[in-house]
Chains A and B, each alone.
Chain A
């Protein structure tokens, strides 16, 4: 297919898969916030999700496909791009390119490593020291698992660093999506860029507030 070879088509695939994962990240963050309701909040939320049964696996397969397509073309395009610009300048100033736009592949690698760890940690629960129990209503106790995990400084640090990488990735990626889809003009550029950074920041804040508040309360107690 022509799209899969095209300079623009492959970018469009990256943009759509990336932006779909952003939507997932927003929903996931909102779901996580149920932890502030207490054990009843997040344990009930988790139980609802798991009661969906086969749908959960369908959803997981979809997310896996999104990530796989995104990563495949990320690597392919990045390799092509560095081959297209082999000999560096002795002196080169970047005027518009940013730290975030120049490190997309590396923030991507950090996010990928994090996703693997995160799945082993809270989904497969294979990492050492995961607290697995049931609450008074016989539901899996997500609340205790998360709180006990984040009391560990190192674990919290991993999550915070990964979310910082996600923030950088999306501070370039979200506005890039609109440009790649052609939904941008010189008049919208500034606003779209600002909204992209704002969404990236809200995600950062929404995610790190959980480990940070748990760490803080662990320190106070």
Chain B
């Protein structure tokens, strides 16, 4: 990149560096020079890492995969907001045009007891898999592909289930939650399956098993701050948490 592009900016980064799960971590300061506004946030970090490698410094470790907002791997708290705070945007889809020359940017990992740091900005989110394994599925024989319209589902239910299924399992809801709770993530799966005919049969065991796993994994309890919805890059609504609570009470009543 060259200096003659007057649009580029120089930024100061405060990045959380931590060698391993049990090592102490701290914020380190780095300069990001000549950053193009068209870069994505992760491309900006790639560039910073190039300069670090040339200097013989360990590059900043961070998770990413698709870089198009669908896989849920990227996970950074940018300036105090998971994914950086742009509406319905993962950090890989956040662009540097949201920043301006001279800005200082704080970059930290998801923080929750259930998400131990692996290195720097990468955390272990397998606890979310544990919750899904506890009940986030439908038990059925998997034969050939069933006819698409063999089970008819009314449009409102289908839409509701699709809205819940939008969750990409990134864990931003946990990172944003003052209680380190994964209730939004859990509720999205509980609600999605509870509303569909295929999922209804196991609704009661599912909600019990998944909320139990949530606790076992060391996530906190929901106190309805609604910070999760505000952090979610997919706009998952807290109405699904109310739905989970409803399913839980139904499970008790039955």
Contacts and interface: CB of A to CB of B under 8 A. Distances in A.
Count class of interface residues, chain B: 35 or more
A11 B249 contact: no
B187 to A, nearest CB: 10
B135 interface: no
Interface stretch (B50-58, B64-72, B140-148, B239-247): B239-247
B37 interface: no
A85 interface: yes
A175 B224 contact: yes
Given A85-B180, A89-B80, A176 B249 contact: no
Interface string B1-27: 000000000000010100000000001
B41 interface: no
A119 to B, nearest CB: 28
B233 to A, nearest CB: 13
B249 A12 contact: yes
B53 to A, nearest CB: 25
Contacts of A94: 178, 225, 227
A176 B27 contact: no
B60 interface: no
A182 B180 contact: no
Given A90-B27, A91-B106, A97-B225, A84 B220 contact: yes
B149 interface: no
A125 B152 CA distance: 68
Nearest to A177: B224
Nearest to A187: B239
Nearest to B108: A89
A91 to B, nearest CB: 4
A96 B53 CA distance: 39
A7 B214 contact: yes
B105 to A, nearest CB: 10
B211 interface: yes
B90 interface: no
Contact of A84 (B113, B212, B246): B113
Contacts of B106: 90-91
A8 B252 CA distance: 11
Contacts of B246: 182
- Max chain A C-beta neighbours (<10 A), residue from B180, B207, B223: B223
Given A8-B248, A77-B223, A84-B218, A183 B114 contact: no
A185 B237 CA distance: 9
A94 B77 CA distance: 12
Contact of B245 (A3, A80, A81, A182): A182
B245 A179 contact: yes
Interface of B: 14, 16, 27, 77, 79-81, 85, 106, 108, 111-114, 176-181, 183, 207-208, 211-212, 214-215, 218-227, 229-231, 237-239, 241-249, 252
The 10 closest A-B pairs by CB, nearest first: A182-B246, A84-B220, A85-B180, A95-B230, A84-B180, A81-B179, A182-B245, A97-B225, A93-B80, A81-B220
Interface of A: 2-3, 5-12, 77, 80-98, 101-102, 104, 172, 175-176, 179-186, 189
22 contacts: A6-B211, A8-B211, A9-B252, A11-B222, A12-B245, A12-B248, A12-B249, A84-B220, A85-B111, A85-B113, A85-B180, A85-B220, A86-B113, A90-B108, A92-B80, A95-B81, A96-B229, A182-B242, A182-B246, A182-B249, A186-B237, A189-B239
